[in-house]
């Protein structure tokens, strides 16, 4: 155990070792921040996707109503045509 502590103390005094450790920590932190950013982006994209899906459903319903009204108007026009001289 004592040898292990002495060995660790030797490494911790080495400036290159400290620099590499700090550099590794920075890389880990940057990677974690990037993952958090991607998760946030995916969350926003999912919300937008859900909104677009809801809008699509509403538009399909409105289109069905307009199509029904158009069909009714066409039928009325056909009934009126024979009355024209």
pLDDT for 6-46, tens place per residue? 555 555 678 888 899 999 999 999 999 999 999 999 999 99
Residues 48 and 5: their CA atoms lie apart, in Å, by: 55
pLDDT surpassing 60 at residue 84: no
pTM over 0.85: no
Q: What is the pLDDT of residue 60?
A: 97
Contact status, residue 46 vs residue 40, Cβ threshold 8 Å: no
Tokens 């920075």 belong to which residue? 26
pLDDT surpassing 60 at residue 72: yes
Residues 72 and 32: their CA atoms lie apart, in Å, by: 60
């Amino acid at each position: 155990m004592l040898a292990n502590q002495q060995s660790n103390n030797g490494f911790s005094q080495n400036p290159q070792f400290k620099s590499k450790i700090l550099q590794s920590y920075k890389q880990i932190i940057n990677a974690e921040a990037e993952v958090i950013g991607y998760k946030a982006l995916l969350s926003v994209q999912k919300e937008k996707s859900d909104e677009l899906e809801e809008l699509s459903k509403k538009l399909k319903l409105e289109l069905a109503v307009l199509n029904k009204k158009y069909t009714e108007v066409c039928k009325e026009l056909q009934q009126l045509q024979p009355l024209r001289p």
